[in-house]
Structure 1
Amino acid sequence: MSGTLTIDDQTIPFTDGQTIIEAARTAGVYIPHLCHRPGYTPHGSCKLCTVKVNGRTCSACTFPAAEGQKVVNNSEELQEARLRITQMLFVEGNHFCPTCEKSGNCELQAVGYHLNMLDSHFPHFYAHRKVDASHPDILIDHNRCIFCNLCVRASRESDGKDVFGIAGRGIHKRLIINSPTGQLKDSNISVEDSAVQVCPTGAILVKRTGYKTPIGGRIYDQHPISTIACKKRETDSTG
């Protein structure tokens, strides 16, 4: 079963079971997002993919595509809301792009460029978060976690391990490791796991690989995220 909807007056086909964001991606229309990844259960946590559907505010990653929907994606109101959300993500953690080894490969950074983010707007939290370098091959910098839940879903749904979880609420929210000590070295994670590859920021890093591709030659240095995101398909669930 299939049908069509419109996004900003452009006719978009969809197939039964697709969400609005997946119908858009298939048609080459970019809806900003950070917590969504094809192949994993939609989460709707980052709210960047908020659109208007027949006048109703919805998350495009969780809302099913349906015949005759009129979707607004690029309004000034929505873009302003996305900018503010992105700015909040930057100030509630510690994201030092010029010195981060994920720079140029970071989806948060790329979304900031896409939205023409020129400043942080809000006061910085300067949160005190730990770095877990206990694992021989993998490092977690909690300063850069945006709680997108992707590593949690990847570990459960792709790796079958349940290594990660999210605990707490508000400013007390934190990424936790499901191991006896709470350290990554005592978990059953492997460097080949999808959960290691799926992080959209520099929160989960594979050691000794950070500068194999020089800054300036990385994915979002070469192409905007709006182009890259629409090239990915359902088989990209491993990042």
Structure 2
Amino acid sequence: MQRADVTNGIYNTWKMADELGIAEVFSNPAPLPVNEEFRNIIYSSESLYTQTYIAGLSLSHYNILLSDYSYFQFSWESEHCVRYAFYPNPFISGNDDEVKAIKKWRDLVESDFLTHEEFLRLLTDRPPSSGVPMFRYENAPSQRKKFKHPCSHFHIGFHSENRWPLERILTPYAFSLLVFKAYYGLPWIEYGDEEEPEIGNRFERILLNEKSNCPIVPQLLFENVERRTFFFG
């Protein structure tokens, strides 16, 4: 996968977020560079998820911010070496009133009635309440170790050592479509359902088509013996 493929996937993710009615800010259309401050927080064994989420938000270290103030990060290091991450807002439980309150604070920031720091303080003063786990994908051929570190894998939740192997190399758009389907099911159904007997949802059709753009991991990096255990196919 080339850098241009990731850039194209970022644009498609933004367009889909807009179609679902959950787009807020298109911050960076290119793969994100390394941010030392954010990386230090991620790699610290003492960091909590709330601290990591706030760091990314305060540093604007994201490509796309959604209307509930969850955000996407997309990175490209070299050919086929990619990282995609979805950071859900841990300070909301998902009801409309909470989202409206956050949008109101954001509007006050844009009108210079609130500073960015005051906005973050209002947000973090709320008790953590979201049950939505952080969701991350990596394809790292150079780090692959049979059974221990799959080349293509998911991280589900904030625990960094859990790795769920995949048989395919995900495009950034496939990753974001999986997030939208799993975590934004109501707009996915509301705006996607159609009178079509076989599939019945145009977003599902887009996801099926995008899967075909996700190549199978080469045999050298995912051996038959590894395929005999559990993996995402």
TM range (shorter): 0.3 to 0.5
Higher RCO (C-alpha under 8 Å, 6+ residues apart): 1
TM superposition score normalised by structure 2:
0.33
